[in-house]
Structure formats: structure tokens, C-alpha cells
Amino acid sequence: METEFVFEFKCKGLKSKLTVPVNIPVKEPVEELVGRLVKAKNLPAYVVEDLQKDLCKFVEVKTAEWNEKNGEEAIKAVFDNKIDENILIDKWNKAFTQEVKTYAKPEEVTNEQMFSEVYHSLIHSPALETVLNLEHTYALSVEDIITNRDADLNHLDSKQQEEMEEALNNVGIKYNDEDINQLAQRHFDNTQLISSKWASELSNLKETQKREFKEWVMKVHEDSQNNSIPPTYLLRAMSSALPDAEDEERQSQPTRLEESFTIHLGAQMKTTHNIRLLCTDVLDLCRHKTHTVGGIAIPQPQRLQTAMSLYSNSLCGLVILVDNRVNNYTGMKRAFSKVCEQSTDFHFPDLDHRYSMLEQEVIKMNELRRKKKEEDDMSIKSNGSNINTGDFYITEHSNLSEIHVVFHLVCDDSVRASDISSRHPAILSLRNIIKLCFRYDIHTITIPLLLTHEMTEEMTIPWCMKRAELIYKCVKGFMIEMATYGAQESRTIQFLVPRGLSEDMFNNISNMLPTIFRLSNPVIHRTGP
Amino acid sequence: MTALGKAEFGVQTFFAASYPNDKCGANGLPLTPNSIKILGRFQVLKTYEHPNICKYLDIVRTKHERLIVVSEYYKDNLQNKVKTDHFHSEKKVIELAFEILKGLTYVQSKNLTHRNISLDNILLTQKNEVKLSEYGLYHMTDEGADVSFPIGKAKYMAPEVFCCGPVVVDENCEKGISPPSGPKADCWSLGIVLLEVLLVSNMFVKKPDSMISKVLIFFLEKDPLEFLAKDCGFEDKLQNISVELLSFIKWCLTKSPSKRPSCQQLKHHSIFTVLNSQEVPYKNGYKILSVKPRSLDLELPVLDQLSVLDPDHLSQRSMEEVYYLWRLAGGELESILKKAGLIKSHPPITLLPLLCGCEGEVSGHIRDQGELLDQTKVVLSQDQLRNRLQDIEEKAYYPLLEDDNLGLPTSPSSGDLSDTASLPLVIKERDIEYQFHRIILYERLLKAYPYKRPYIWKEARLDIPPLVRAHVWAALLEVEGDIDGEYDNIDKETPTTTDRQIEVDIPRCHQYHQLLSSPTAHYKFKRVLKAWVVSHSHYVYWQGLDSLCAPFLALNFNHEALAYACLKAFIPKYLHNFFLKDNSAVIQEYLAVFSHLITFHDAELGNHLDGIGFIPDLYAIPWFLTMYAHVFPLHKVLHLWDTLLLGNSSFPLCIGVAILQQLRARLLSYGFNECILLFSDMPEISIEQCVQDSIRIFCSTPKSATYRQHARPMKKVNDMRPNLSYYSRDYNEQPQTELSMEAISIEDLKSEKCPRISAEDLIELGELAGPRHTKSPTKKKQSGKPMILVIDVRSIEEFKRGNVPGSINIPFQTAFSPEGDLSPCQSVTTLNSCKSLVKVIVGNRGRNASNFANELVRLGYSRVCVLHKGIDILRSTGLIIVPPADF
């Protein structure tokens, strides 16, 4: 609000009048306004005190008037029914009930929440080993079924193949085309029947396991609360002394090619992070390797780590690249779902369930997008239930080896081009993924460095080097961006390159890293002064 | 200063509103998080002190936009006191109203609207004095725009507040759409509060919806009070209230804001006549660096046999001090809140969204119910602190300053504190007992500033506690006078040509620092920088001035004038003429001297850097132009400057050498490109080490070696500090004699590898005019001033005709073998046996001496310097002697 301040004073017998525009509310202190006035209008020193007093009073009065005017206008708007009372009341109620705890509906503790809390406390108690062993036993029986299923299906497959070959060889003699078709149809039906039989057996087993496990966890928790029996009681029953390891088991698993770096980010304030370059199959990070001691399978040590941090504030994430269909029939998705199927996920719904939830969200999001774009321009095609390149969906897992959260990043063939830029949707998504990592305490994230899971022929040396450089630089930029405003936590980024990359290439990519990321100070042993 | 008294510390937590995942600013840059904005706006609240309000002490920002606020707190409040029948008499209620009004008037005099008055936010001390709390929430959240919850309880809200509706944030400017509530909204709330106290009942039920609709009906009623009485069924009770008091409450509950009285007017209502006449105006004690007569309100306490001193000495200390100590005693805000169940959030894995689009839009995630506002306050127990301090003698709270050898007291628990004094600074800063003694000592010294300046200077050489750093720095920079008046009178509003550059630089300056990245900080930054540019018209704004300003602004966040005054004093002291429009001569000379200094202290490194052409111009300009404030993070700059401020204008050069020393091994192994890369992103430097090294380097450098013709000329006024030691005075501030250094052209400086020293320096260091008692500039005993070896490079004949006592003769003509090595002779043996001494090369006019020095450097000899003007300069002193003939 613009007002006019008038000040009168006497100078050498002359009356002077000063008129200045003043904006209400005043942002700067009145003293400074006076200082500026005196300088600008060259006022004599003896009026300063009066001017200050007058101006103070003036600002005070005018500010009060301004506030009163605002208040009156607000009341009038409601009084004149310009604002609907009921809407206003509704807004206030929402504000209070949705944001203030005392007015909000008390939160209902769901079974899942209860379970997660109990599980978290149990896994950090002496019962830890028992829990893991139980999970492991369950996993073994799932594995059993899967092995049987696969054998059964293989057997069926080979039998059918024989039949088909036999039939084909005798086309025109014993069989006609119609017969072949019927045979094929019968084969297909059989396969369907057998696999659905196995599928239902598997899902039944998983359901049972899930229920049993939950009940067991809750019971152990109750018991430990009642303190009647120490929670380790089951442990004794289950883990008998292990036999000695056999020689071949002592040999460590084939090591994956990897190199670690400690880096600093930031110009003045430095944050320390870890970077690891890995050459392995992406699913190796998910798959449980059979780990046997004396011929008895025992849980892998990584499993422990993953279980303990499942409900913590330090999660591990993985980015995998998928196509734009929401199912698990092909390629990477099929391989991934196989790994997930290996054991029961006691905490999160299975993939199929996820996909059905996802489909709804995709439709919702596409609808929203369409609306948003329509505002900008009208010529937009709606793409229904398809996911766009650069979108990603997120699944949580409790039964993978080193991973809690998987980001399924939707990519098309454009990532195979040698000249993708930092504005490519896949790269923008990496930014969003890293952003979510910061938001949701995912402290370790694994990113396919070349934006591919396997080596193909267009991936020449220059192609790989260029791609590696691009991703390094972009990820560095995103990390710096997210770490602004004082996020000091240290994080781990794992860059994954596909198996099959030559050792030389790996070394080249590894040598490039220190030229882009600043390594932290080497430790120097100082001798003498 | 508000003394602790019987106050507790209360802590509460809330979340700032977080932006949608896909939102970014108009310029495409990430948005400033709301928590950062709140952090900046909060700061000013710390300066508000009044007997009827709770003091704000601290705000802490943690992960995911959570904020934790610490303030003065009392367990009693109106809500629970009303029920105890304490306010059954009207007299008590009137007193209560008066106290609340006093608090409110103060708060509103700071241009704040409380907007959050309720029974439980009006706290009561043990003596039933009123303390308003929560009055800053509305201000710090930018009138509610930075949080998603509504501020204030519904039933106390004035009609105009209701009619505005909950805050709706404008997408573009991130401010609330409707104008902020004015101070008169608080008067309405006061009316409701008093009504509740009088009727000993809560006005409405807890659930908000039923009552909000009721309040809206107020508009249809003529008199809000009558309506309320009817609605809540207390008409009969109103009969018992005196007419005067009732008229007061009616006045408060005026529907129309323009007719409703302000707090000032309310305070002059007839019910307060007696109280008004008894009111003692609140005086807010002593303010440092103020021109107002500081003893104006001084009332000496009457101490006689009868008066008993409070044995709780800690309660006499200011709240800031006690809170500072509380944190040192292991106070952890987050863990206390966690224990109280106030930090409760779902595991992140259960909160993840299902789907995220390319532009960052997310869907399928749930709101964490743990983020809702919970207004519970938790008391921070002072037990641990008091336990830690219980063994401290009473005397330690009141140290005497006149005692000359005061030093640090011994304490029964941790032995001699002077042992602690020699520990690394980071450890000292965490030692509660040590900090306790230091802050009490400094607090007294600062009160006696400027009279006690030499004493402050002396103590600052030991260390400066973080709590008092701002004022100690001001004292070291000799800031005095009417700084507020001066700053007020500088025009910081009128646009100038440098505005654009300043606005570009500020968002790049120390933005990892939470406070400095807030919009409030940017606003203040701009004002201080503009003030400096406007009032130094012979200088220009160079990039780097922003970095220089940052430490001062961070320390004096609530006192811009002092930040400005410090900056104004700092620049001429260390960066004289660096901000000239054409500063090349100044910088060139500075860098040349820096080169000399590198070589002087480490010939091998100097040779290497020279050899690969990695000259200081390539890396050191930002070091010096910002006095390292651009190079290091702020917490390191503070530690560095603690020492820098004690040194003279040459000291920064020594810091530069110390930094290079830390990177020595790498620099020696690197080529040009790697060196450039190394400094493009400064590696971690240990500041403690750097500070120690630079002091050592400073002490082993003859002071005329850092002479610069562009340094600040001698000040007219006599220095108050006595010239105690060799180093205590800047060389440029010493009186000039014919034996002093003179200006040397930049070409000559660059052509020489070694510094020159003056004849007077030679005389002083060589003690040619007899021994002089000097003290070292540091507390360390081993390093006094550098020891010297004088090497005369004239011919044997000239040497025999007269030389400097104690000098050795290596004639330049015959000194070097064809291979370039020193030809062995007795003098060379002497030279090699005294490698660590400072070697002063003395020659005739001409270049022999400096060429000889360059050769020595080439051979890897460090600490070589040349006598300016050669042997001739000494002729007039009569110090030249003729050696015995048989020599």
C-alpha cells in the first residue's frame, strides 16, 4: 500500500515541507529510511530527531490501518457471501484434522506395521539367528518345489518334443496337418495344466509359510515380552552343530571384478562418499548363492545384513532397466521375477500383485499428465496404460541378497545410441531416483553404468568410454545437487558394468573415475619434521 | 542479557512443508527448502528479551525437513493453573491480564503478531509471573506459509483470521495469498483467554468442526460475548464479574478489527490504572558496542549482612551461556525427543511411492503420519550440566581481571586447565569445564571493552570460544564507535550498478551453510555488501568480497551493523587497496612476495613450481583476495581467522606457504596439469596443522622480507600496544629510516628468487648493535627470532677492507665450479654446517648478490635472502669492521 508522508520543519525562518511516498508495510527499519531521507533531501541535522519521531508514528499508524483494512475485507468477503461459509469451515476442519495430531484421527496400527516393528526388534535381538535360520529353512523348501517343478516341466518338454518330432517326421503318413495342430494344442494345454498346478502349489506353500512365519514372529515376540523363556529357545532346536567345511567349500566363490574409491564432493564443505565399480551380472546382487558347509546349505552372510537393515534408515537400492510393458514375461523382467520367486517374501506382496496395483497407478498418472498437457496444448495423444520411457516403478523386497528396493527404469532402444545427452529421459530418471534415495534414506544405490545389462556389438570401446563418462558426470552433478542445504550423510554408489566386459575396458573405466570424482586425500606417512 | 533464573529449557519439534517431488523454482534451480527459510527467519527471535516472554534459544534442522526449537520453558501454564483456583479473585485476573499485555506489547513492538495465544502457551513461573511462549511460530514460518499445519488454536482465533481461511501458498512467490494477520488478532485471543480464566472452564469442546461453524455465526449476532454466554451456558456466571472487567473483555471481543483496541490501548484501560502507575519500565541491561551511556541505568545491588547471595551461581549466568554449556555437557536434542516419543516415523521402506514419472511426479505413496504437528514440549534436564559443574569453586564464577598473572584456575576435577589450553582447538571447544572458564572470563573482558583490549588480545592468542567469537573478533579488529548509527545512515536500497553482480554471487557463496543459504541471509548479505560498496567509492566490488563478508555475517547474523563494521575494519588491515578498480600492481607485488616466501622456506618446492611454470598467479589470487574464505568451509575459516586476526598484514602470506607445505609431497610429484587440477578443487587441509605451520613460518621469516610498497602505510595514531617483541608490529607500520626497505619495481621482484631484507633488520637479527631483549610473538619459547649467517660475496680484497662482523666470505666470481656446484672451501663448509640458519647475502651494488642467491636456491638452499642495497648501506652505521690482518 502506497502512502504519503508529509513532514514540515522550519529552516532559517522558512517553513519547508517534505513529501515522501512510503510503502506500507515497511520492510527496512525506520532509522534507515530517515538516514536515506536526510541524505537525499540534504536535511539539516537538527530536524533528524523530529523526523525520526514523526516517521515512526506515521509508519505505526499506517501499518495498523493497513492491517485493519485487510481484516475488514476478509470479514466482509464472508459476510457478503463472496466466500461460502461451508467451504471455509470445511477448509479449516481439513487443516486441523489432517495436520495437527491432537485433532487427527488416531492412526490405526495395521498388522503390517505391527509385524514390521516386531520383526525389526526381533532381528536386533538374540533371536536373530533363529529368525534367519527359519527363513532359510522356508527358502529351502520353496527351492525344493521349484527344482521339482523345473524338472517336471523339462521332462514334459522333452517328451512333447519327441512326440512332435515323431509326428512331424510322419506327416502325410500317419498324421495330417489337423492332427499336428491338435497335438500342438494338447501339448500346450498339458504344459499349462502342469505349470498352473505347480504355480498353485508354490503359491499355497508361500501363503502357508507367510502365515506361519508371521505367527511365529509374533509369538516369539510375545514370549520374549513375557520373559518366560529366552527367545533363543528355538535356536537350539534348529541349528545343530555344523559339520566341518569341506575343502572345495573353503574356496571362496568366484570373485567379481570390483574396485572401490572414497571421494569428496563439494567445493568448500566436503562430503565423503564411497564409489564402487563392479563387473558382474545385475541379478547377482539379488540372487542368494547356495552356500554350503559340509554339504549343508546355510544362509549367506549378506542375508543377515539385509534383514537387519530392512526397516532401518539405511537401505540398499538397485536400478534395473526394463521395457514398457507391465508384466514379467520377457527379458530382464522374467529373469528378475525368477530370482524373486526363489523364496517367500514375508514382508511385501509378490510381483504379480505389484503389477496389478501398478497398472492402476499408470492409468491414473497418464490421465493426470494428459490433463496437465492439455492446459499447455491440445494436440496430445493419450497413451492409456503404457509406461513412458524414463518413468520408473519401485518394488520393495525382503528376500533378495543385497537389495531392499528395486527401481525398474523403463528404457527403449534409444539408450543404445552412442550420442545420448544428459537430457535423455533415462538420465533425468537417474536424477529422480537419486532424489528419492535422499528422501527415503536409501544409502546404497547400484546403477548400471552403461545403461545396459549385457554386452552387445554396438558397444565399442569409444561407445563404452563415452557412456561411462556421461553417467559419471551426471551422477556427480545429481549428488552435488541433492547434497546442498547441508545433507552431510555419506552414501555409497555402485556402478555396475555387465559381465563380459573385458578386463582392459574395466580398467579404463576405473581409471577414468578419479579424473571425474575427486578422491579423498591419500594417507601419507610422514617421517621427520 | 536474560539470566537463567529458575527457567527450564523446553524443546519441541515440527516439520516444514515439503515441496512436491517434481516442483522446481522459476529459474529451474532447486527450491530453497522451507526448513532453511524458517531457520533464517528464526534467528532474529533469539534477540528478543522481556520479562514476560520466553526467550528463544536455538533452532536445529535435521533430516527430511524436521526442525527442533529450543526456548525458555516453565512447567506451569494457565491451562493447568486455572483449575487450581489460583485466579479466583478478580484482582489476580487483572494482574494476569496486565502481565500478558506487557508481553504482547513488547512482542508487537517488534512487528510480530503472536497469532498463537492459548491457555497452554501462557506459561507461569514459580512466582506466577507470566511468560508468553510460542509467539515466534507465526513469524518464523513466514505467517504460516512454510508449514502445512495451521498456527494457533481455532477457538482463540479472531473473526478476521477465520475469514481468511487457512494459509494458501502462492505457487510462484511461495508466500501466503491472503495478507498476514495483524496484531489486533491477539487482542481478541486475549479476551477469550481471560474469559476462560474467569469462568474456569474451556470455551468449546476439543473437536474443531462444531465450534468453527459456531464462531461464524458471530457475525449474525450483535455482541460476540452475549452470544458466547448463551451458547456455552455461562450467562449466570457473567453476573458475578465486575462491570469494569466485563467491559474490558467486551472491548477485546470487538468483532470489527478497526474498532477493536490495540494492545497499547487495552493497556490503558481503567482497570489497569493502579498497575500502570506502579509499572517499572523494562531496561535491557548493557549492550556491547553501543554509544549510549552504559551506566545510565546502573543500580548497584545493596549487599549487607541481611542479603543472602543465591548459592545457585549458574542461574545468574545468561541463558545463552547455560544453553551453550548444556550442549557441551552432552545434551542431545534428537535423542531426548526420541525418548519422549516425539520423533516417530515409519520405516522409509514402507513409505516409498509406487511409480515415478520422468519429470519427477510420484504416485502411490502414503503420508507419514509422524509428520503431523505435535505441540508437546519436552523439558531438557539440567541435571547433567549441574553435575558436571558442581565441583567448580564459587570464585570461578566471578574472576578478577586486575590480577596480572591470572591465567587459568586449577580445578579439582580435571587438574590444571592450562594443560587443556595446549590441546588442539577442536578438543578445547568440546571441553565443558574449559569453556566454562573461558566464556566467563571473556564475558567480563568484553564488558570492559575497549579498556581491556590488550587483555582480550592476550587471551585470544590462547583461543576464542565459539560463543563469544563474534564480539572478540570485533575487539581484535578494534571496532568502536556508533556502528549502528553509521550503518543506518548508509543507503542500502537505491539500486547501483553492482547490484546485479552481487545478486549473482550471493547464491554461490558458502551455500552448504544452512544459515547462509536462507533467504534472510541473502537479504542481509546484499545489504552489507551494498553498504560497503556505497561507502567506499574509491574501491569497486570484486568477486570475493562476498566470501570475505560471509564469516562476519554468519557470526553477527542478528547484528548487520557489526558485520559491516568488522568487514570495514578487516579489509584495510589485510587487503589494503586490493579492491581498487585497477588492483594489478597491488596483487602482482603480493604474489611476487609470496613466490619469494615459498622459495625462502622451501627451495626445493619453489624450484619445482617455478620449473613447471605453476606460478602463484594461477592459484593464489582467490586465496589472498578472500583471505582463504573462498577456499575453506566456514568452520575452518573461523579457526583460521582466529589466528589470522592476531597477525599483521604479512601473516596471510605465511598461511599460503603453510598450505603448500601440507600438499608438498603431491605437488613435488605432480606436473603442471595435475597441479592445476589439484587446486581447482582444493583438497582437504588440516587447519590446526596449517595454523601451527603458518605461525612457525611467520616466526622464521625476517620481517622486512615481506615488505610491500603497496601495503597500508603507517597509521598516524600511536599504537596502544607496546612494541614488545620483534614481530609485534607490522613492518609497514614502523617508522621509516634510511636503513629501511624501499619500493622495488615489480620487474626486479619477479627476476629475483629471494626476498630482500633491510639493513635495520640485519642489524636487529644479527644483534650488531648489541643484544636486545625481545620476546617471541607466540607463547612458545623455542622460537624467538630467526638466527642468521651473513655471507659476503664481494672479492676477497673488498672483504678484507671491511665487513660485517661474523660474516663469511664466498666471492661470487670464484664461488661456483663450471658444473654449477659450490667450489669447496672453508666458508662453504661453514655454510653447509649452518643450513638451517637464515642466510643473508651481502654484496656491492649490482646484481652479484641476488645472482649468488639465485644460484644457492637452485642448489636447494632454503632461507636465503639478500641485503637490500648491499654493503654500502651499512657504511654510515659504523658497524663495518676490518678483520685482523692474519685472517
Q: What are phi and psi of B123, to 5 degrees?
A: -90, 160
**Closest listed residue to residue B511, CA positions, set B32, B35, B24, B175:** B32
Collapse the DSSP code of B363 into the 3-class scheme (helix H, G, I; strand E, B; otherwise coil) and give the result.
strand
- The rounded distance, in Å, linking the Cα atoms of B249 and B500 is 53
Instruction: Judge whether A521 is closer than 8 Å to chain B, CB to CB.
Output: yes
**Closest listed residue to residue B561, CA positions, set B646, B488, B510, B507:** B488
What angle in degrees, to the nearest 10, is found between the helix axes of A30-41 and A48-79? Answer: 120
What percent of chain B is predicted at pLDDT more than 90? 35
Mean pLDDT on B473-478: 93
- The rounded distance, in Å, linking the Cα atoms of B642 and B627 is 12
DSSP characters over B176-237: BSSPPPPTHHHHHHHHHHHHHHHHTS-SS-S-HHHHHHHHHHGGGSS-HHHHHHHHHT-HHH
- Any idea of the CA torsion for A115, A117, A119, A124, to the nearest 10 degrees? -170
**Closest listed residue to residue A403, CA positions, set A512, A265, A272, A302:** A302
Mean pLDDT on A376-403: 75
> b/e per residue, B25-45, with b = 16+ CB within 10 A?
eeeeeeebbbbbbbbbbbbbb
Co-location of A309 and A273 in the same domain: yes
- Tally of CA atoms within 13 A in the half-sphere of B322 that contains its CB: 29
Confidence of residue A490 (pLDDT cuts 50, 70, 90): confident
**What residue numbers bound the domain in which A225 lies?**
111-239
Mean pLDDT of chain B: 85
**What residue spans define the domains of chain B?**
1-73+284-297+313-346+366-390, 75-278, 391-462, 483-574, 584-757, 787-877
Mean pLDDT on B26-54: 88
Q: Report whether A271 contacts A490 (CB < 8 A).
A: yes
Confidence of residue A237 (pLDDT cuts 50, 70, 90): very low
| CATH fold for domain B787-877 | Oxidized Rhodanese; domain 1 (3.40.250)
- The rounded distance, in Å, linking the Cα atoms of B871 and B535 is 47
Co-location of A458 and A415 in the same domain: yes
pLDDT at B409: 53
**Inter-chain contact B184–A67, Cβ cutoff 8 Å?**
yes
Mean pLDDT on A507-521: 88
Co-location of A89 and A218 in the same domain: no
Residue A158 neighbours by CB under 8 Å, 6+ apart: none
- Any idea of the CA torsion for B648, B653, B654, B657, to the nearest 10 degrees? 170
Q: Which tens digit of pLDDT belongs to each residue from A183-226?
A: 888 888 888 888 888 888 888 888 888 888 888 888 888 877 77
Measured in whole angstroms, how far is the alpha carbon of residue B471 from the centre of its chain? 9
pLDDT at B659: 95
Residue B644 neighbours by CB under 8 Å, 6+ apart: B574, B627, B628, B651, B652, B655
The C-alpha cell that represents A93 in the structure block: 476442519
**Closest listed residue to residue A81, CA positions, set B184, B219, B167, B158:** B219
Q: Which of residues 439-458 of A touch B (CB under 8 A)?
A: 439-442
**Closest listed residue to residue B78, CA positions, set B133, B118, B114:** B118
Q: Which tens digit of pLDDT belongs to each residue from B236-272?
A: 778 888 888 889 998 998 888 889 999 989 988 888 8
pLDDT at A239: 43
Is A358 part of a structural domain of the chain?
A: no
pLDDT at A293: 62
Residue A250 clears pLDDT 60, i.e. is over it? no
**Which is more confident, B109 or A488?**
B109
Cβ-nearest to A67 among B159, B183, B356:
B183
Co-location of A328 and A425 in the same domain: yes
Collapse the DSSP code of B843 into the 3-class scheme (helix H, G, I; strand E, B; otherwise coil) and give the result.
coil
Q: Which of residues 139-198 of B touch A (CB under 8 A)?
A: 148-150, 154, 158-160, 162-166, 178-185
Is A192 part of a structural domain of the chain?
A: yes
Is A132 part of a structural domain of the chain?
A: yes
Q: Which tens digit of pLDDT belongs to each residue from B585-597?
A: 999 999 999 999 9
**Closest listed residue to residue A59, CA positions, set A86, A84, A28, A96:** A28
Q: Which tens digit of pLDDT belongs to each residue from B486-532?
A: 998 898 888 999 899 999 999 889 988 999 999 999 999 999 999 99
Q: Which of A459-463, B389-393, B415-419 has the lowest mean pLDDT?
A: B415-419
What interface predicted TM-score (ipTM) does this complex get? 0.84
The C-alpha cell that represents B575 in the structure block: 587487503
Q: Among B355, B518, B835, pick the best mutation site for testing chain A contact (most A Cβ within 10 A).
A: B355
Amino acid letter for position A155: H
**Inter-chain contact B163–A78, Cβ cutoff 8 Å?**
yes
Q: Nearest CA of chain B to the CA of A460: how many Å?
A: 28
- List chain B residues with CB under 8 Å of A489: 63
Co-location of A425 and A316 in the same domain: yes
Give the end of a domain, one of A239, A267, A300: A239
Residues in chain A: 529
The structural domain count of chain A equals: 3
Peptide bond into B450 cis (omega under 30): yes
- The rounded distance, in Å, linking the Cα atoms of B168 and B445 is 50
What percent of chain B is predicted at pLDDT more than 70? 89
What percent of chain A is predicted at pLDDT more than 70? 88
**Residue B827: other Cβ atoms inside 10 A:** 17
pLDDT at A190: 87
Measured in whole angstroms, how far is the alpha carbon of residue B215 from the centre of its chain? 48
pLDDT at B547: 93
Residue B807 clears pLDDT 70, i.e. is over it? yes
Q: Which of B63-72, B199-208, B360-369, B739-748 has the lowest mean pLDDT?
A: B199-208
Q: Report whether B600 contacts B755 (CB < 8 A).
A: yes
pLDDT at B725: 54
Instruction: Judge whether A104 is closer than 8 Å to chain B, CB to CB.
Output: yes
**Inter-chain contact B488–A70, Cβ cutoff 8 Å?**
no
- List chain A residues with CB under 8 Å of B108: none
- The rounded distance, in Å, linking the Cα atoms of A6 and A317 is 67
**Inter-chain contact B165–A88, Cβ cutoff 8 Å?**
yes
Is A323 part of a structural domain of the chain?
A: yes
Residue B782 clears pLDDT 60, i.e. is over it? no
**DSSP secondary structure code for residue B682 in this structure:** P
Confidence of residue A233 (pLDDT cuts 50, 70, 90): very low
pLDDT at A442: 92
Computed on alpha carbons and rounded to an integer, the radius of gyration of chain A in Å comes to 34
Cβ-nearest to B372 among A36, A70, A100:
A100
Q: Which of residues 266-285 of A touch B (CB under 8 A)?
A: 266-270
Cβ-nearest to A313 among B348, B350, B633:
B348
Instruction: Judge whether B351 is closer than 8 Å to chain A, CB to CB.
Output: yes
pLDDT at B412: 45
Residue A385 clears pLDDT 80, i.e. is over it? no
- List chain A residues with CB under 8 Å of B631: 268
Q: Which of B70-74, B114-118, B171-175, B697-701 has the lowest mean pLDDT?
A: B171-175
Mean pLDDT on B711-736: 59
Q: Which tens digit of pLDDT belongs to each residue from A16-26?
A: 888 888 888 88
Instruction: Judge whether B665 is closer than 8 Å to chain A, CB to CB.
Output: yes
Co-location of A267 and A318 in the same domain: yes
- The rounded distance, in Å, linking the Cα atoms of A200 and B819 is 92
Instruction: Judge whether A380 is closer than 8 Å to chain B, CB to CB.
Output: no
- According to DSSP, the β-strands at A405-410 and A392-396 are antiparallel
Collapse the DSSP code of B73 into the 3-class scheme (helix H, G, I; strand E, B; otherwise coil) and give the result.
strand
Q: Among A67, A355, A358, pick the best mutation site for testing chain B contact (most B Cβ within 10 A).
A: A67
Co-location of A163 and A131 in the same domain: yes
Q: Distances from the Cα of A429 to the Cαs of A3, A173, B834, in angstroms?
A: 51, 60, 66
**Residue B349: other Cβ atoms inside 10 A:** 23
Positive/negative CA dihedral, B634, B635, B638, B640: negative
Question: If you search the block for the grid coordinates 565399480, which residue do you land on?
Answer: A277
Maximum distance among all alpha carbons in chain A? 133
**Closest listed residue to residue B260, CA positions, set A67, A174, A289, A522:** A67
**Inter-chain contact B511–A484, Cβ cutoff 8 Å?**
yes
Residue B568 clears pLDDT 90, i.e. is over it? yes
What percent of chain A is predicted at pLDDT more than 90? 17
Residue A383 clears pLDDT 60, i.e. is over it? no
pLDDT at B569: 93
Co-location of A19 and A168 in the same domain: no
Mean pLDDT on A398-422: 88
| In CATH, B483-574 is 3.30.1240.10 | no
- The rounded distance, in Å, linking the Cα atoms of A227 and A221 is 10
**Inter-chain contact A36–B354, Cβ cutoff 8 Å?**
no
Is A356 part of a structural domain of the chain?
A: no
CATH of the domain at A394: 3.40.220.10
Co-location of A136 and A158 in the same domain: yes
Collapse the DSSP code of A10 into the 3-class scheme (helix H, G, I; strand E, B; otherwise coil) and give the result.
strand
Give the end of a domain, one of A213, A239, A265: A239
Mean pLDDT on A464-491: 87
CATH top-level class for B584-757?
mainly alpha
- The rounded distance, in Å, linking the Cα atoms of B619 and B591 is 10
Instruction: Judge whether A393 is closer than 8 Å to chain B, CB to CB.
Output: yes
- The rounded distance, in Å, linking the Cα atoms of B419 and A278 is 50
**Inter-chain contact B163–A83, Cβ cutoff 8 Å?**
yes
Q: What are phi and psi of A292, to 5 degrees?
A: -120, 145
**Residue A295: other Cβ atoms inside 10 A:** 9
Q: Which of residues 221-250 of A touch B (CB under 8 A)?
A: none
pTM for this predicted structure:
0.89
Q: Which tens digit of pLDDT belongs to each residue from A256-284?
A: 788 999 998 887 888 899 999 999 888 88
Give the end of a domain, one of A239, A272, A298: A239
Q: Which homologous superfamily does the CATH classification assign to the domain defined by B75-278?
A: Transferase(Phosphotransferase) domain 1 (1.10.510.10)
**Closest listed residue to residue A412, CA positions, set A447, A380, A388, A385:** A388
**Inter-chain contact A440–B351, Cβ cutoff 8 Å?**
yes
Q: Which tens digit of pLDDT belongs to each residue from B830-851?
A: 888 888 889 999 988 778 888 9
Residue B480 clears pLDDT 60, i.e. is over it? yes
Residue B565 clears pLDDT 90, i.e. is over it? yes
Q: Distances from the Cα of B651 to the Cαs of B459, B600, B640, B644, B658, in angstroms?
A: 19, 15, 11, 7, 11
- According to DSSP, the β-strands at B838-842 and B415-416 are unpaired
Residue B717 clears pLDDT 60, i.e. is over it? no
Q: Which of A383-387, B203-207, B387-391, B447-451 has the lowest mean pLDDT?
A: B203-207
Confidence of residue B536 (pLDDT cuts 50, 70, 90): very high
**Inter-chain contact B357–A390, Cβ cutoff 8 Å?**
yes
Confidence of residue B453 (pLDDT cuts 50, 70, 90): confident
**Closest listed residue to residue B733, CA positions, set B576, B860, B612:** B576
Q: What are phi and psi of B820, to 5 degrees?
A: 100, 0
Q: Which tens digit of pLDDT belongs to each residue from A163-187?
A: 888 887 877 777 777 888 888 888 8
pLDDT at B413: 45
Co-location of A406 and A265 in the same domain: yes
Q: Nearest CA of chain A to the CA of B394: how many Å?
A: 41
Q: Which of residues 475-534 of B touch A (CB under 8 A)?
A: 488-494, 510-514, 517
Phi-psi domain of B721 (left: phi exceeds 0; alpha: psi -120 through 50; beta: other): beta
